[in-house]
Amino acid sequence: MSDPTIQTFCCHHSGNNLDMAVKIMNEFNTDSYNTVCLTSAAIGIIGAIYQIIPSPVDPEKTQKWHTFSSIRGRRIIIWLAVADLFASLGVLIRSSLWLRYKNIMPMPNDDVSVLFCSIISAWTQYFYTATWFWTLFYAIDTWLTLKGRDSHPVLYHSVSWGVPAATTSIGLSILYLPDATCHNLTSLTAALIKVLPNYFATYLTIAIVMIVNPIMYMKAGKDAEVAVALPLAQFTSKERKLVDALRCKFFLINMVFYVCWLPNLVNGILLWTMWFNMPVKVIISIWYIMALMNPLQALLNALVYRSWKGNQKCCSFNFFNKSRKSNLPQEYSPLLGSVPVPSRLQLKPIKSSINTYATL
C-alpha cells in the first residue's frame, strides 16, 4: 500500500518499547499483513495488464468512430493502468522481501534494510501519486470533450509524472535525510518539520481528486444532457436513459477511488489527532483495509473504465429513476461502449461533444 505511516517504518528504530511505533508493531502481525499486500498486489497487476491490453473492436465501429479524438480517453486510461501496474509491482516486491527476511523495522545498524525500504517506498509512492493525477485528468478531459474542447496531453504528462517526482522526492528526503532517524524526535516542532510534509504531499493530492472529480463528472453529466437533446431539441425517456447510463459510469468511477483511498485519509486523521491516545487496534484494522484496497485499485479501474456491454444492469435502466422503462434498439455509443442509444439520434452534427470518446 501507499501511506506515509508505513514509510516511517523505513527509519531506524532503537527498540525502545516507549516508542509508539514499536507499541503498534508489537500488536501487528506482519506476516498476515504482508500476505494481504502480496495477494492484492498480484491481483492489481493482473487488472492493470488487462486494462492495458486493447479490447476487441468491431471493424465497422472502428471506421465510424475511432478518429484521433475518439481514442484520447483510452490513452489516458492506458497511462493510468501503467502507473497502477508499476505501483502494484512495488508493493509486490516489498511484501515479498518483508515476508522473506522479516525485517519490516530496521534496527540502528541495519543500513541495507533502510536503503531498500526507502527506495521501494519512493517507487510505490511515486507511481500511486501518478495514478491520482491520471484519474483527475481523465475526469477533466471527459468534461472538455463534452464541451467540444481540445485535449492537452503534454500538460497531462508533465503534471502526472513531474509533480509526483517533486512531491515524492521532497517529502521522503525530508523524512529520511540525513540519517533516517524519524522516530527519535525531541519536540512537536521537530516532528512537524520532519514528518508532516510527506503526509501533506500525499493526502492533499488524494483530497483534491476526491473533491474535483465529482464536480467535473456532475458538469459532464449536464453537458451530456445538452449534447443528447440538441439534435432533435427534445429530451424524452430514451434520451434520459442514455444520460443516466453515462452518469452511472461516472458514479462508479468516483466510488472506486473513494473506496480505495478514503481509508488512507481516515488513517492520517486518526494518527495526527489521537497520537497520544492511539486506538491501536483500529489503526491496524485500517492498515489491513489499505493493504487490500490500495493495490486493488488497478483491478477495479479495469472494471469501470473499460467499454461497457449492453447487458450491464447498471446501464440497462434509468439509474436515478428506476420506475421508467423503455425498450431501445441497439446502436453503438462511443461514450459507453455498446450501451443502447436511441436510433433516431443523429450524433454526427455534434462532433465536438458526445461522440469523441470510443470509451470512457
pLDDT on residue 274: 79
The amino acid sitting at 327 is N
- pTM of this prediction? 0.80
pLDDT score for 15: 58
pLDDT given for residue 70 in this prediction: 56
Mean pLDDT of 38-53: 94
Q: Where in the sequence is the domain holding 347, given as residue range(s)? A: 4-356
CATH number of the domain bearing residue 79: 1.20.1070.10
236-287: pLDDT as tens digits: 777 778 788 888 999 999 999 999 999 999 988 888 887 667 777 888 899 9
pLDDT at 352: 39
- CA-wise closest residue to 135 among 40, 22, 257, 19: 257
Q: What mean pLDDT value characterizes the chain?
A: 77
The residue-averaged pLDDT of 88-104 equals 84
Residue 316 pLDDT exceeds 80: no
Q: Mean pLDDT over residues 315-344, rounded?
A: 41
Which is more confident, 63 or 45? 45
Burial class of residue 45 in the structure, from the number of CB atoms within 10 Å of its CB (0-12 exposed, 13-18 middle, 19+ buried): buried
Neighbours of 242 (CB within 10 A): 24
More confident residue, 278 or 356: 278
128-137 mean pLDDT: 97
User: Over 50: is that where the pLDDT of 349 sits?
Assistant: no
Query: Would you place residue 234 in the very low, low, confident or very high pLDDT band (cuts 50, 70, 90)?
Result: low
How many other C-beta atoms can be found within 10 angstroms of the C-beta atom of residue 17? 8
Neighbouring C-alpha atoms within 13 Å toward the C-beta of 218: 5
Mean pLDDT, residues 311-318: 40
Closest residue by Cα to residue 303 from 53, 24, 50:
50
Total count of domains within the chain = 1
Task: Give the separation between CA 82 and CA 265, rounded to whole angstroms.
Answer: 24
Q: Would you tell me how many other CB atoms lie within 10 Å of the CB of residue 3?
A: 25
Query: Among all chains, which residue has been given the C-alpha cell 495477494?
Result: 39
